Amino acid sequence: MSLNSSQFKAYLAGFLDGDGSIYVRAKPNNSYRFGYQIAPYVAFFQSASCESFPAMVKRVGYGKIRLRKDGIYEFTISKQDEIIDFLTKVSPFLILKQEQSRLMLEILKTKKNISNEQDFKRLLNRIDTFRDLNYSKKRKRRV
């Protein structure tokens, strides 16, 4: 079963809705043009007791998997083109994270078309809107 299989896409969408996360951060970094690094992620989390998880996510064809010290597998897709490909294929099957997926795709498209500081500020506002969709103990709004 591959990412081109409707059954696998539906399975991944359910997994993402339940034990996954779609998020993007604007990390302060003075080496970037406007002082922030835009870091998008799609991540899945699973107990290490689920021995079939690494083999299952390898079928996606990209992303990275790691076993955290707390006994949780974390599978992360962080390359923008891979996120776009993944969400484009899986989004039709999402239920709970449909809005996060739509907004992530919009943010990544907008990011590719940044030409000035005003465009970048609009992007940061979209990222802040995105953050409002997700639960966060450390939520901060930029001005």
Q: Which residues are catalytic?
A: 18-19
Is the dihedral angle over the CA atoms 12, 14, 16, 22 positive or is it negative?
positive
Structure tokens at 120: 């970048």
Is-contact 107 80, C-beta < 8 A? no
Which letter, b or e, does each residue of 60-72 get, where b requires 16 or more Cβ atoms within 10 Å of its Cβ? beebebeeeeeee
Backbone angles phi, psi at 69, to 5 degrees: -65, -25
Rounded Cα gap, residues 141 and 143, in angstroms: 7
Rounded Cα gap, residues 77 and 32, in angstroms: 22
